[in-house]
Chain A
């Protein structure tokens, strides 16, 4: 009897364990029968926007159930599944600049959608196709872009006697920053964070690239120029370090900063987080490096890709198609500050309405800031390059030799990516 009970208890333990392991599988199998269920991994406002899309999407496709999986911007929920080859969401959001690195680190994990996207080729901003294309094949759909502008406090500029029209170049901008200090000694002209956002804006404005002809290019003359400009802003005391996005808000709320150099998506943050300053902000194109030079740059932007692990890849693409290539879909995206790379939407009424906070037609202005954005090659290095790039800027701002910093950064990226360095 006792012996039997021992074996029975062992059996019980095993069955509990095995059912616990297999229950996940059963669920999936049953859901594919009638209704297709797709999951979308996305983050922050983008995930909220996608959640709001579900209702409209289900009116068109009642048989496809959509679930949005909120992830962090560091992809920590997605990558283990991609590495393991099982359990990945059907649709995965990545930053546009990270996607080539995903294609390299996780080959055969993304569905080739070249044929499906052919008809949309001309509907999207041309430069947005670059990061989703590998060997003439398209593996993801461009979502939003980040045309950059100079947001400035009209009231502070006026009191300090600065005419924004006269700020044509970055040198003018730095001079204006000094002039601002005369009236407001505690206010800096602009701010930056502990990342390489400002550097990337300058680099893109100059037409520089992280990778050129398959070689690491962070030691290019454009890169040096971009680094030196940020250093000059810091050294002249017109730019303060607020460390991260959370540091920006108190700096702006307390009038410590008179302007910011950021993409279109910051308009939404300003109107939500610094509500009191409504009507006090103006937006103009960023200053150029030399008179008459390029005044446009891109920062940020995401893509949506279908995972090869998806059992409902067709349904997944239908969802992407709905949210990114219809006016209904893009209208919701715009509400969340995601500026479309899908250009037919620029003609719609929603796109052309006046923004209360800024007192201007916000999006048509930014649409004009996308016309001369230069192509930027990120290469498959961005997941490895994040930390070295941050260190490079930190080092330069701390006063280290620029050429030396660029050299060591290029070498360290080369070590982890096995790409050669451009000399």
Chain B
């Protein structure tokens, strides 16, 4: 009896060691390929660029300069101009896109529309088109001298618009381009949100005699709040990081009217190879994005319904 009792005493501890290997270690081993890749290509660059942002890294030389890069960026008028550009674009574009997106999502969800799948496809299609391709098509459509858009405006007796050489209209052009491309993406997310709203809410509203508009504002919008917040934050971050459209459509012009912070850091990083300066700019932009997202969540109370 005693023997077995001892055996019983020791056996569980062996099992637990084995179990530790199996239960704790094994999952990490399976995850390790991801973590190794993640560490090399994500974690390392994040910390390396943090280090670089405190150096004068230029080409293949670097010297520690402390906060000089941050000071130079924050006193550079061009940086503030690029930041104000994206905020102007942001304030107009994100609400505009979310309104259009919500309306389209409601329409797509309506029971009266036939061939919904086709419409969904068409609305989502711009997202699938390559950024570069659509930017080039837009430069042709909006060309000031021979573009289709100015031709069409001419038909209704509107003078040709200087889409590329007027600071105001070039921003409008960027807003049109970004809205064209990203509305469909938000529509699909919002549509997914709408389909999760319980039909019984609408039924009881019908019974109470609420019309469609009241239903839209009192049921659909409040129920969509978390989704709208999600889309809003994603679009805000996306707009602050705007690069491809202004880079290809307007090259940041005219006179920096459509220059963006990412174009600003790209120019220093990859045109003049001032890697330290560009890294510092990247960290400043990241901090700004973080602050804005924080306030968005605060103001909307985390998207609680």
Contacts and interface: CB of A to CB of B under 8 A. Distances in A.
B48 to A, nearest CB: 12
B145 A256 contact: yes
Contact of A243 (B26, B59, B61, B164): B164
Contacts of A6: 21-22, 25-26, 29
B287 to A, nearest CB: 22
Interface string A249-260: 011001010000
A79 B60 CA distance: 9
A105 B60 contact: yes
A383 interface: yes
Contacts of B164: 243
A107 interface: yes
B273 A383 contact: yes
A250 B146 contact: yes
A2 B60 CA distance: 49
Contacts of A105: 58-61, 273
Contacts of A13: 29, 32-33
Contacts of B145: 240, 250-251, 254, 256
A412 B72 CA distance: 10
A246 B268 CA distance: 25
B256 interface: yes
Interface string B251-267: 10111100000000001
Interface stretch (A279-287, A325-333, A387-395): A387-395
B254 A74 contact: no
A241 B251 CA distance: 14
Given A10-B32, A17-B36, A243-B164, A83 B60 contact: yes
Nearest to B162: A241
A398 B254 contact: yes
B190 to A, nearest CB: 36
Contacts of A247: 143
A241 B165 contact: yes
A398 to B, nearest CB: 5
Interface string A1-37: 0110010011001000100000000000000000000
A74 B272 contact: no
Contacts of A415: 72
A158 interface: no
Contacts of B279: none
A194 interface: yes
B59 A82 contact: yes
What band does the interface of chain A fall in when counting residues whose beta carbon is under 8 Å from B?
A: 35 or more
Contact of B60 (A10, A17, A109, A386): A109
Contacts of B22: 2, 6
Contacts of B272: 383-384, 386-387, 416
B60 A82 contact: yes
A61 interface: no
Most chain B Cβ neighbours within 10 Å, of A83, A84, A244 = A83
A83 B78 CA distance: 27
Contacts of B59: 79, 82-83, 102, 104-107
Contact of A76 (B146, B251, B270): B270
A307 to B, nearest CB: 12
B251 A194 contact: yes
A214 interface: no
A85 interface: yes
A395 B61 CA distance: 33
Contacts of A251: 145
B274 interface: yes
Given A243-B164, A251-B145, A254-B146, A74 B271 contact: yes
Contacts of B143: 247, 250
Interface string A58-74: 00000000000000001
A238 to B, nearest CB: 15
Contacts of B60: 82-85, 105-107, 109
Contacts of B267: 387
Contact of A416 (B61, B146, B256, B277): B277
Given A82-B59, A105-B59, A105-B60, A391 B255 contact: yes
Interface string A397-423: 010000000000000100110000000
Given A83-B60, A105-B58, A251-B145, A394 B273 contact: no
A398 B60 CA distance: 38
Interface string B163-193: 0110000000000000000000000000000
A383 B270 CA distance: 9
Contact of B270 (A9, A74, A243): A74
Interface string A74-115: 101001001111000000000000000010111101000000
B251 A243 contact: yes
A250 B267 CA distance: 29
Contacts of B275: 83
Contacts of A74: 270-271
Contacts of A241: 165
Interface string B83-114: 00000000000000000000000000000000
A10 B29 contact: yes
A122 to B, nearest CB: 33
Contacts of A244: 251
A13 to B, nearest CB: 6
Contact of A386 (B58, B254, B271): B271
Nearest to A7: B29
A226 B254 CA distance: 20
A394 B253 contact: yes
Given A105-B58, A256-B145, 17 more contacts: A6-B21, A6-B22, A6-B29, A9-B29, A17-B36, A79-B270, A84-B60, A85-B60, A105-B59, A106-B59, A109-B60, A241-B165, A243-B251, A247-B143, A391-B256, A398-B254, A398-B255
20 contacts: A6-B26, A6-B29, A10-B29, A13-B29, A17-B33, A17-B36, A79-B59, A79-B270, A82-B60, A84-B60, A105-B58, A105-B59, A241-B165, A244-B251, A250-B146, A384-B272, A384-B274, A387-B271, A387-B272, A415-B72
Interface of B: 18, 21-22, 25-26, 29, 32-33, 36, 58-61, 72, 76, 78, 139, 143, 145-146, 164-165, 251, 253-256, 267-268, 270-275, 277
Interface of A: 2-3, 6, 9-10, 13, 17, 74, 76, 79, 82-85, 102, 104-107, 109, 194, 240-241, 243-244, 246-247, 250-251, 254, 256, 383-384, 386-387, 391, 394-395, 398, 412, 415-416
Closest 4 CB pairs of A and B: A105-B59, A394-B255, A384-B272, A383-B272
